[in-house]
Amino acid sequence: MNQLDALRQWTTVVADTGDFRQLAQFKPQDATTNPSLILKAVQKPEYRPLLDEAVRTHRGRSTDEVIDRLLVRFGREILSIIPGRVSTEVDARSSFDTAATVARAERIVSLYRAEGIDVEKRVLIKIAATWEGIEAARRLEGQGIHTNLTLLFSFAQAVACGAAGVKLISPFVGRIYDWHKKAAGSGWNEAERAAANDPGVQSVRQIFDYYKKHGIETEVMGASFRNVGQIAALAGCDLLTISPELLAELASSETPLTRALDAAASRDLDLPVVSLDEPAFRYALNEDAMATEKLAEGIRAFAADASKLERLMEESA
C-alpha cells in the first residue's frame, strides 16, 4: 500500500489546485482553490481560454462579477471530476468587511445554483479567518451556506471559528513552519523540529484535540504543506489538502504510515473550554506575532493575485 492509500484510511484527502486536469489521477474526495492557484492556472495555455470565455460572455458586467463567474467555472469543472466538495474563495480585499464578504459569498453561491450545483452538499465558501470573516461565516452558516475559514494560524482563530459554527477550518501548517524557521535563523535544527515537533503540525494537533475534546463539529483540514513528513505527522486529521506534487510523492512511496491523530484519544485529554469575545480575540491574535504577521501577509498576497487576475481580464477584453 502506498502512503496516499494508507492516509485515506483515516483522513479525507483533498487536492489543493486550480489545475483540474491533474485531479483524476489522484482521486481526491474534495478540492480547494484560491486566487493564487486560479491565477497560476489561467496563465497556462490550456486554461487561458476559460478566462477569455468568461470575459467575452459577460462583457459589460463588473470585473468582480466576471471574476466570480470564472471561479465558479473552475469550480464546476472540478466538481465534474471529484465526488465531494470544492472550496471557492471570496476576494481577500473584503477580509475586514463582514457585509461585503456575505454579499460576495451569496453571489458565488447563486452562480453555482444557476449551474444546477447542490451548494449545501458540494460547495464551501473560503473566507479569511479575521474577526469580520468569522462573523460573516456565522451569518452564512445560518443560511445553510457552508464555509471554509482559511489563513488560520492561531488557536484563537480556531476557537472563534468553532464558536461560530463554521463547517471547516484550514490551519496553514507550512506557513507556520516557514515563520518559525525564519525566526530561528541559524539556530533552527531541522531534524529536531520535524514530524511531531514541527510547529505547524503542533498547531493543528492542538486545534484537533480541542475540537474533539469538546465536541466541536467544525472539521479540521490541515493545509499548506512543505513536505510529506508534515502530512504523515497529521495522518488521522479530519481532512488534509495537499498539492499535486506532494500527492504524487505520497503515491510513489510505500514507506509505512501510521495514524498520528485520533479523536478518541483527544477526548480523554484534560483541556479547559476557551471563550473569546471580540476584544479577547483581537488581543490574543495581537499577542501571537507569527499569526498576526502571516494572516496579514496572506491577505495581501491573495489580494495582489486578485488584482493581477483583474488585469489579465482587462487585457483579454
Nearest Cα to Cα of residue 203 among 185, 186, 225: 225
- What CA–CA distance (Å, rounded) separates 74 from 244? 16
- What CA–CA distance (Å, rounded) separates 193 from 196? 8
- What CA–CA distance (Å, rounded) separates 13 from 24? 13
The question of whether 126 is a catalytic residue gets the answer: yes
In the chain, the amino acid numbered 117 is I
Residue 176 in grid coordinates: 507556520
Helices (H), the chain: 3-7, 23-26, 35-42, 48-57, 63-79, 98-114, 119-122, 131-142, 155-164, 173-184, 199-213, 228-232, 244-251, 263-267, 278-287, 289-316
* Active-site residue, from 126, 212, 213, 294: 126
**Residue 19: CB atoms within 10 Å:** 19
Q: Kindly state the helix (H) or strand (E) to which residue 123 belongs, with its residue range.
A: strand 123-128
Let me know if 88 is exposed, middle or buried by CB neighbors in 10 A (0-12, 13-18, 19+): buried
Q: Kindly state the helix (H) or strand (E) to which residue 242 belongs, with its residue range.
A: strand 239-242
Residue 206 in grid coordinates: 492542538
SS3 80: coil
Q: Which residues are catalytic?
A: 126
